[in-house]
Amino acid sequence: MSSSVLDQRRLGVRAILEAIAAGSITPGDVIRESRRRIDAGDAEVKAFTRLSQVADMPDRGPLAGIPVGIKDIFDTADMPTEMGSALYRGHQPRFDAALVAMARAKGAAVMGKTATTELASLDPVETTNPSAPGRTPGGSSSGSAACVAAGFCAAAFGSQTGASVVRPAAFCGIAGFKPSYRLLPTVGMKTFAWSLDTAGLFAASVADVALFADRLTDRALTIPAEFDLSGRTIGFYRSKVDETIEPSMAGAIETVRRWLEDAGVRTVDVAEPGALHEARQSHTAIQGYESTRALMHEHRAEGARMGPKLKAILDEGLDVTPEAYDIARRAARIGRKAANALFEDVDALVAPSAFGPAPEGFGSTGDPTISKLWTLTGNPVVNVPGLATDAGWPLGVSVIARFGRDSHALAIAASIERLIANR
C-alpha cells in the first residue's frame, strides 16, 4: 500500500480524513501505519507507557482512522491508568474517562497511554523530544506531545493545570489547544487542582487540532475557509515576566508582529493590568491549596514514595491557609473580569508560549510561569508552531481569545500559522 498521506513525517488529521473519504486509504491502513511507527520508534522516544491490545480498531464514525494517544491520567477501561506514579502501578479503572469515551464513540482509535509526569506535576519522565534531540519535550503532557511530534499519532489528549499543553506543544513544534475552562469534560481525569485543571488536545497543525476538536465535540471549531485576518486588531501582551524571555523568543514575537502588519493586521501593545499580575501571582496558592486536598490521601499515606518536585508542591501547599486561599480566589475572580475586558479593543492576543526553546537535558520540563495566567482565567489558548531558533529548535507563540471564543482563537491561530509557513 502506497499513500502520500501515510508517507508524511507527521500524521495529519485533515489529510487522513480526506484520503479516507476519497477511498485512497482505509481507516485500517492508518491504524496499522501508526502501530508500525510506534513499534519502530518508541523505544527511543518513550512517548508511550502502554499500548492498546485491541485487534479490531473502529472503522466507522467521524474520527475513524484517527490514531490517538491518551495521557495516562485519563481512565481507560481496557488499560491501566498509572498516572506516572509508582503509587498507581497496575491501577485498572472499570470505565473510560468521559473524553476517552467520546473519542471511541466517534470512531477514533486509542493507540495507548502516553507518558505523564507524576500525577501531572513537574518531575520529568524519560520521554525525549522528537523535534529537539537532547532537550525536554516539556510536561506534564510529555508523551502526548511527543507522540504527535514523532508522527506516531494524529492527535493526543493532554491536560493543563499551569502550562502542560501549551508548553510541550511549543517545545515539540506542534499545535496545542487549551480550550476555555470546562469546554472538554474532565470526568475520569485525575484531579490536581479542581479550579485550574483543563483537558486539552494536540495535533500536527492548528487546522488539524481544530478539525479533531470539532468532530470530537460536535462544536463548530473547524477553520472557516473564508476567514481573513486583514483589518483585525491583534494585541501583543506585555507582562512583567517578559523580562526573562530569551532573545530568540522575543525575536520570534516581533517577527510575527511584522508579518501580521504586512498582512493588513493592526497590532497594538497590551500592557498587563495590575489585576492580572495579581491573578498570575495567585495561581501558586490556589494550586497548592487544592492539590494538597485533591491528593491528601496519597500525600499522607505514601508521600515518601513521590517524586521530589511533586512532594515539594504538596508539602508547601500545606502552608496555604483557607484565608490565603480565599484571597487568592478573589484575585483570580477579579483577574477573570480583567481578562474579559482586554478583548473590548482587540480580536485576540499574542504572547510567548514559553520563555524560549526547550531547555537542554531532561532535569526539568521547563518553566510554566509565562502561560499559567491563561489557565487561571480560563481563556482559550492555541500554541502556533512553525517558528524556530537559528539552531532549529522549535519556538511557539500563543493566541489567546475571549472566554468561550474557542473557534475564534483557532481561526486566528491557523491564519498566523499559514503566514509563518508561507515565509
What are 184-237's pLDDT values in tens digits? 999 999 999 999 999 999 999 999 999 999 999 999 999 999 999 999 999 999
3-state secondary structure of 245: coil
Answer whether residue 288 shows pLDDT above 90: yes
Q: Pick 54 or 105 by higher pLDDT.
A: 105
> Are the beta carbons of 203 and 212 closer than 8 angstroms?
yes
> Are the beta carbons of 373 and 283 closer than 8 angstroms?
yes
Answer whether residue 1 shows pLDDT above 50: no
> Are the beta carbons of 174 and 204 closer than 8 angstroms?
yes
Answer whether residue 69 shows pLDDT above 70: yes
Answer whether residue 17 shows pLDDT above 90: yes
Q: Pick 1 or 392 by higher pLDDT.
A: 392
Answer whether residue 37 shows pLDDT above 70: yes
Give me the residue spans of the domains in the chain.
4-217, 276-329
Separation between Cα atoms, residue 180 and residue 19, nearest integer Å:
31
Cell of 272: 498587563
Q: Return the H-helix or E-strand segment holding 55.
A: none
pLDDT digits (tens, 9 = 90+) for 323-350: 999 999 999 999 999 999 999 999 999 9
> Are the beta carbons of 245 and 214 closer than 8 angstroms?
no
Residue 182, Cβ neighbours under 10 Å: how many? 11
Query: Which pLDDT score, from 0 to 100, does residue 122 have?
Result: 96
3-state secondary structure of 266: strand
Q: Return the H-helix or E-strand segment holding 307.
A: none
Sequential DSSP letters for 176-240: EEE-STTSS--TTB--S-TTT-EEEEEESSHHHHHHHHHHHHTSS-SPPTT---TT-EEEEEE-G
Confidence of residue 56 (pLDDT cuts 50, 70, 90): low
% of the chain with per-residue pLDDT over 70: 99
Query: Which pLDDT score, from 0 to 100, does residue 59 have?
Result: 84
Q: Return the H-helix or E-strand segment holding 42.
A: helix 27-45
pLDDT digits (tens, 9 = 90+) for 95-147: 999 999 999 999 999 999 999 999 999 999 999 999 999 999 999 999 999 99
Averaged pLDDT score across all residues of the chain:
97
This prediction has a pTM of: 0.98
Q: What is the mean pLDDT of residues 303-307?
A: 97
Separation between Cα atoms, residue 101 and residue 259, nearest integer Å:
41
Start-end of H helices in 263-307: 274-294, 296-302
Q: 396 - beta bridge partners?
A: none
Query: Which pLDDT score, from 0 to 100, does residue 49 have?
Result: 98
Query: Which pLDDT score, from 0 to 100, does residue 55 have?
Result: 59
Question: Structurally, what CATH architecture does the domain formed by 4-217 represent?
Answer: Alpha-Beta Complex (3.90)
Query: Which pLDDT score, from 0 to 100, does residue 58 have?
Result: 80
> Are the beta carbons of 11 and 30 closer than 8 angstroms?
yes
Query: Which pLDDT score, from 0 to 100, does residue 53 have?
Result: 85
% of the chain with per-residue pLDDT over 90: 97
Confidence of residue 54 (pLDDT cuts 50, 70, 90): low
